[in-house]
Structure formats: structure tokens, C-alpha cells
Amino acid sequence: MATVPKIEVGADYKEKYGFFVPEEYVFKAKRGLNPDIVTEISWMKQEPEWMAKMRLRSLEIFRKKPMPKWGADLSVIDFENIFYYLKASDKQSKTWEELPPDIKATYDRLGVPEAERKFLAGVSAQYESEVVYHSLQESLTKKGVIFTDTDSALRDHPELFKEYFGTVIPPADNKFAALNTAVWSGGSFIYVPKGVHVEIPLQAYFRINAENMGQFERTLIICDEGSFVHYIEGCTAPIYTTDSLHSAVVEIIVKKNARCRYTTIQNWSTNVFNLVTKRAMAYADATMEWVDGNLGSQITMKYPSVYLMEPGAKGDVLSVAFAGKGQHQDAGGKMIHVAPNTTSTITSKSISKAGGRTSYRGHIKIYPGANNCKSFVKCDALLLDDESRSDTYPYNDVDAENVTLGHEATVSKVSDEQLFYLMSRGIPRAEAETMIVNGFIEPFTKELPLEYAVELNRLIQLEMEGSVG
Amino acid sequence: MADFEIKDLRASVEGRQILKGVSLAISMGEVHAVMGPNGSGKSTLSHTLMGHPGYTVDGGSVLFKGQNVLELEPDERARLGMFLAFQYPVVVPGISMANFLRTALNSKRGYDGKDKSKQVTPKEFRSMMKSELEVLHMDDSFLPRYINDGFSGGEKKRAEILQMAMLKPEIAILDETDSGLDIDSIKFVAEAVNRMRGPELGILIITHYTRVLEFIKPDYVHVLVDGKFVLSGGPEVAERLENTGYAEWGHAEEEPKEVA
């Protein structure tokens, strides 16, 4: 019978991504969530009073809001059994050499320095709850671009920070946005001045490295008029035995004629609850693009959205979800057409295998008076076996005239004909299946910088391993 | 003993028996043609030989290099030296022809991601490609295109022969490679196939029409009707079919000559 050769990339996966570095924390918060802990977080960070108050107010909102009843089952999350803040080292490091050795070891294995050599403009690597390593190319500074961790931004750019923080996603928006606002730590802050184009993607790496530690990063990006930036976050996570919560908030403001692209490739370990709120406001003739790849995690609920605030604004969501055994990827996008003559597209690709479940959940809202809007949604699902599942939940509210709204959805299986064709050329079944899956998400992959495209294809290969009998 | 021996092959599709005992022996260097009217079992023969999962083997054997290939997976048959040029090449979106060809070539050589010495180098790949493309009157603009995606009929068939040239099989089955091709395309395809002819390759051409056999001269011709060979012989069998068609086996309405 056929022997399925072991795919090379899997061999060093555990070594490369599934390791732990012994914890050496300067400060370790207690488990659980209450006003004292929230106050302590703010105090540790020496934050201004308005932030401390906002955190406490958000905690109250979090307490009052019920758990979402739709989407995935979140009842298993025990909020009292989570660390809400950990600080790995006392101070921020400016150069690689200054980093504590254990943290350096982590990033060595992740390949951060190598990636930086290649084309990084700045690395903002989040270890535990806080950004500890951060370098910024001089050319960026000269152009007036601010790229820093969010905690430093609050300290160093207080006015800019206060003007925008929480304006796109207020704490009362949803339960998890409230939780994030109460306990947030780390994340990236980017300000791109008028007319400045940042040619090289800005990147950050996120990891969770302590059991039961929540990760509540907060990212705020402001693209001033006529500017451009591409921000990339790549996530890999070690393997855990107990549940972990990741609940981030990403707020983006794209002003007139500006363009922002936000790329995520995440691969949380399969016990992580990944509940993220991502939203952008796009003003006149501005473009916002979310490129969102969801692998790993136990449950992901994520619907990047764009509020199209002024005429000519354009929003794009391009997402990929992969759900394996015991995983539920509930992802999609939201396009809110507030102004006339705005356009949006959502392209969603999902893959389910070994009983995994993917759901596309999307919302297109076109407000009264937002005439002549165009929106197109395309979702394609690929099922790798009979036990897997895929659902589509599109919601459309159209209250304007002369609107073009398109929706296309397909569900397919890896076809016998395609498999036979590839195998008839000598390609083993497992490899052929991986090729077909990578081909299926190619419209997504081709939007990524080469390094990430290669990494994503490797991750797909890993996910596919053992899926064929 | 021949190098590739089909013995009393019986196969069915969805419970219906199509091949009712087919035997055929091919030696290296020979070109065999299997001709037959529609529904005679021609594509069942090609698919069964390559191991398509939709075809069930009910009996018989296919011996090649000391193995019964009917017990092997399609990829194992390919790596053993078999090749099928598809009648309807399959579209696979998102994978470039270049990537596909390179992966296939690496698999054929037994590269499993570890022993780099078995891996085809970019330079080697390019030079192999270049000469084959010229023979087939193709240019390398099709390399970044997805597998068979948006290819014209002629492009698809030429791409099949290109794959054959790259993979260098020892037994090649050409399934209706001539169907749907204009005369120029047939000539290019035939030229490429004739170039590969030699003591290292046995060829099985499956066709409805005699036309392709004007360009690729067969050594033996077998007539398949209702799942069995009813006549075998030399090239003269093709000539006979050209004149009388399949009428003598009750298929009067079918012309073995394609009407241009």
C-alpha cells in the first residue's frame, strides 16, 4: 500500500514553536479580575488618572454585559482563573543586545533577528504582556512616523493617544472590548504623518508564554491624510495544557486619501480562546484593507470591520480560516456604509478538517442616504472530510437607494479528480492534498509578503499532517 | 516476456462491467494503439491502468517491473514509471504549472524534502523546460498560470505532453490526446511524442480516430469493442478501420475518421 512520507516541515515544529522558556517575572499579578487588580495594573504602569478611571469604568461594563449568545460556545472560559497582567522585565530595551537572555532565546528561535536583517523596519515583539524589544529604523523617525508599543505611546505621546484611544471601539461596544480596555497591556501604536508612505511593512510578533495568562494587547494606528502603512502581526504560540485567553482590540483611523493594510497570520495553540475586536474608520477616498489569517486556537471569533464614513471610502477584508479537530473558527467581516459612494468587498476562504468547524459571519450595513454604494461578499469553504462542518451567516441591512450588493458562497470538497490528477504525476496523496488546500487559499497567500506566504504554506502543511489515512 | 503486461483485465464503473477481459503486452520501444467506438471501454482502460478511484478492478493483473500495479496507489504507479496523458486534464486553481511540474519531478526522483541531492535544481529545471517548450511550440508564459486553468483545448493537451517529456516515463498512456485538436496542434504533439520514442519507452495510444496515427505510427493496433479486443494486428488494422469503420462490429454510425 501507499506509504505517506513524513513532511519535512513538521519535524522541527515542536522544537521551533512548542517550547517554553522558564518564567522570570519581575512582577506577577494574581489570578482573577476585580477593581484592585485593575487599579494595580494601572499603578504598575504609572498611567495618568484618566486611563485608570477608564479601566475601572470598562471593568464595570464588562461585568454588566452578558456573554454573547451567538457564535461559538464561550461558557467554558473561567475569567477568575486568568492572569491579567505580567511584566517580563523592568524596562524597555532598545537594541537586541540589551534584551534579557531568556527572552532573546525565545526570539532567536522565532527567527526575529533574521527577519529583521531581511527587511524589518522595526520590530515590536511582545513577550508576555508587554513589548520588551523595539527598534525603529532611523528613516522612519526622520519622516515623523511613530512606531512604538502602546504603553510607551501613552507615556510619550499623551495628547495624540488620548485623542484617538477608544474612539473607534469604545469600551461599551462589546463584552470583550470592555475587558480589553480594563486590563489592556502592550500592543502597537503607529502614527503616520500626512503624506508619508511607509514603504516597508512594520511588524510585530506576539506570543503567549505563561499558562493561563491572558493576552490583552491594544493596538492603535492612525494614518493621517494621504499616508500609507502596512502593518503585519504574526503569531505563533507554544503548546499548553490549560485554557488561555487572547482578547485584543485593534483600532485604526484612516484619514482622507490614506491607505492602511493590516495583515495578521496567527497560529494560536489549540487551547486558546481568540476573541478579537478589530475595527477601522475610513474617511474620504481612504482605503482600509484587513488581511486576516486564522489558524490554530480552540475558538476564534473575529470580524474585522470598516466604517466607511465619507464618500469614496473603500474597505476590504480578505480572510482565511483553518479549523481542525476540536476547533471552531467563527470569522468574517463587517462593512458599515455610513456615507454614499463607498465600496466594500469581503472575501472569505475557510478550510475544515477532522471534524473542525468554520463559520462565515458577515454584516453589510448601508445607512439611509448612503446611496450608490457597492458591496461584494464572496465566501468559499473547503471541507476535507465528511465529519467537518462549514456554515455561512450573512446579514445585510440596506436602507439606501441604488445600492449594488453581491453575495456568492461555495462549499466544496477536495475533489477526487484533482487528487487523482496530481497523484498520477507521482505526487503522494498527503502532499497532493496540501497542494490543493494551498491552491485554494492562494488568493489570500499572494497578498502576503513572501516570507509570510512561505510561512503560511508551511503552517497549512503542518495542519494537514496526519489528516489523511 | 513483455515489459508491461495487461492480463485478462476486468473492470467496472458504478457496478457496471465495462472491461470484460483485456490482455495486451507492450515491450519497450513499441507503440500500441487501442482504437474503439464510443462506450467501448477506452477511457475505463486508461483510468484503470492509472488507478482512478472511481473504477473497480474485478479481475486480472497488470505486471510492470515485477509488480502488479493494480495493487499500487496512482502516485506509486507514476513513480514506477507510468504516465497518463489525460483526455480531460483537470483544473487545479491556485497552483502554478511551474510549481506542479517541479513538485512532480521531485516526487518522481524520490525527493521527500530531506535528501537535497535528489532535488531538481532551479537551473536544471529551467534548462529541461526550455528545450521541451520549444518542441511543443509553447512559451514560458504558461508556467506561472494555474494548472490547466483557462487553458485552451490545444494548450491543455500540449501541457500534458510537456509533463510527459519532463517526467520521462517508461510506459506512457495517451488517452485521446488528439481529440479536439486542430491539425497544427496534433503535429506539434506528435513531433514531441516521436522525439521521445525509443528503446526506453513503451507507448499506448488510445483513440477513436485514425488521424493521429498518421503522425505517430503505431507498431500494433488493437480494436476494442464492448470491453474486449476484437481484432489485433499491425498498422494495417488502422487502415482497415479507416475504410470500413467500426461497422463490422455493429457500430456503423461511428466514423473512425474525424470530420474536419
Q: What is the pTM of this model?
A: 0.80
- At residue B38, the pLDDT reads 87
Q: Characterize A16-52 residue by residue with b for buried, 16 or more Cβ atoms within 10 angstroms of its Cβ, and e for exposed.
A: ebeeebeeeeeeebeeebeeebbebbbeebebeeebb
**Which of A282-296, A437-451, B46-60 shows the lowest per-residue confidence on average (mean pLDDT)?**
A437-451
The percentage of residues in chain A with a pLDDT greater than 70, rounded to a whole number, is 77
Distance CA A120, CA A130 (A): 20
> Which of residues 125 through 154 in chain B touch A, CB cutoff 8 A?
146-147
Q: What is the pLDDT of residue B253?
A: 55
**Alpha carbon distance A280, A309 (integer Å):** 10
Q: B95 and A432 in contact by Cβ < 8 A?
A: no
pLDDT tens for residues B108-142? 888 877 778 888 888 888 888 888 888 888 888 88
Q: Report yes or no: A289 and A261 within 8 Å, Cβ to Cβ.
A: yes
Chain B nearest-CA residue for A441: B94
pLDDT, mean over chain B: 91
- So what's the pLDDT on residue A21? 55
For chain B, domains (ranges, CATH) are 4-90+169-249 (3.40.50.300)
Contacts of B89 in chain A (CB under 8 A): 421
Q: Is a pLDDT exceeding 50 seen at residue B1?
A: yes
Q: What values do phi and psi take at A212, rounded to 5?
A: 55, 20
Is the dihedral angle over the CA atoms A68, A74, A76, A77 positive or is it negative? negative
The complex scores an ipTM of: 0.95
pLDDT at B250: 75
How high is the pLDDT of residue B137? 84
A426 and B112 within 8 Å at the Cβ level: the answer is no
Q: pLDDT for A106-156, tens place per residue? A: 445 445 444 433 322 233 444 433 443 345 557 788 899 998 888 889 999
Q: pLDDT tens, B187-197?
A: 889 999 999 99
B95 with A7: Cβ contact below 8 A = no
Put simply, the answer to whether A417 touches B90 (Cβ < 8 Å) is yes
Dihedral, CA atoms, B42, B45, B47, B53, nearest 10 degrees? 130
CA of A2 to nearest chain B CA: how many angstroms apart?
6
Mutation choice for B interface testing from A349, A412, A423 by most B CBs within 10 A: A423
Which pLDDT belongs to residue A69? 83
> Is the Cβ–Cβ distance between A230 and A264 less than 8 Å?
no
Query: In this complex, do B92 and A1 lie within 8 Å of one another by their Cβ atoms?
Result: no
Span A344-402, pLDDT tens digits: 999 999 999 999 999 999 999 999 999 999 999 999 999 998 899 999 999 999 999 99
Compute the half-sphere exposure of residue B240: CA atoms within 13 Å on the CB side of its CA: 16
Decide which of A325 and B201 is more confident.
Answer: B201
Q: Is A425 an 8 Å CB contact of chain B?
A: yes
- Tens of pLDDT, residue by residue over B155-195, are 999 999 999 999 999 999 999 998 888 888 898 899 999 99
pLDDT digits (tens, 9 = 90+) for B208-219: 888 899 999 999
Q: Given A418, A429, A436, which is nearest B73 (Cβ)?
A: A429
Instruction: Encode chain A in three state secondary structure.
Output: CCCCCCCHHHHCHHHHHCCCCCCCCCEECCECCCHHHHHHHHHHCCCCHHHHHHHHHHHHHHHHCCCCCCCCCCCCCCHHHCECCEECCCCCECCHHHCCHHHHHHHHHHCHHHHHHHHCCEEEEEECCEEEEEEECHHHHHCCCEEEEHHHHHHHCHHHHHHHCCCCCCHHHCHHHHHHHHHCCCCEEEEECCCCECCCCEEEEECCCCCCECECCEEEEEECCCCEEEEEEEEECCCCCCCEEECCEEEEEECCCCEEEEEEEEEECCCEEEEEEEEEEECCCCEEEEEEEEEECCEEEECCEEEECCCCCEEEEEEEEEECCCCEEEEEEEEEECCCCCEEEEEEEEEECCCCEEEEEEEEEECCCCCCCEEEEEEEEEECCCCCEEEEEEEEEECCCCCEEEEEEEEEECCHHHHHHHHCCCCCHHHHHHHHHHHHCHHHHCCCCHHHHHHHHHHHHHHHCCCCC
Of B75, B93, B113, the CB nearest to A423: B75
Q: What per-residue confidence (pLDDT) applies to A96?
A: 53
User: Hey, are the CB atoms on A439 and B103 less than 8 Å from each other?
Assistant: no
Contacts A435 to B, Cβ<8 Å: 92, 95, 99-100, 103
Whether A458 shows a pLDDT value over 80: the answer reads no
Q: What is the pLDDT of residues A220-264, one digit of tens each?
A: 999 999 999 999 886 554 444 355 788 999 999 999 999 999 998
| A435 → closest Cβ in B77, B103, B113 | B103
Put simply, whether B115 touches A (Cβ < 8 Å) is no
Q: Quick check: helix, strand or coil at residue B3? A: coil
Per-residue pLDDT at A285 exceeds 60: yes
The residue of B88, B91, B107 whose CB has the most chain A CBs within 10 angstroms, and thus the best one to mutate to test that interface, is: B107
Across the interface, do A420 and B53 touch by the CB < 8 Å criterion? yes
| Nearest chain B residue to A437, by CA | B94
- Contact call for residues A318 and A344 (beta carbons, < 8 A): no
CB-CB under 8 Å, A441 with B112: no
Chain A nearest-CA distance from B13, in A, is 15
CB-neighbour burial class of residue A95 (10 A; exposed 0-12, middle 13-18, buried 19+) = exposed
Task: Tell me: pLDDT of A444 over 80.
Answer: yes
B90 contacts A418? CB cut-off 8 A: yes
Residues B54, A416: C-beta atoms closer than 8 Å: yes
With 50 as the cut, is the pLDDT of residue A4 above it? no
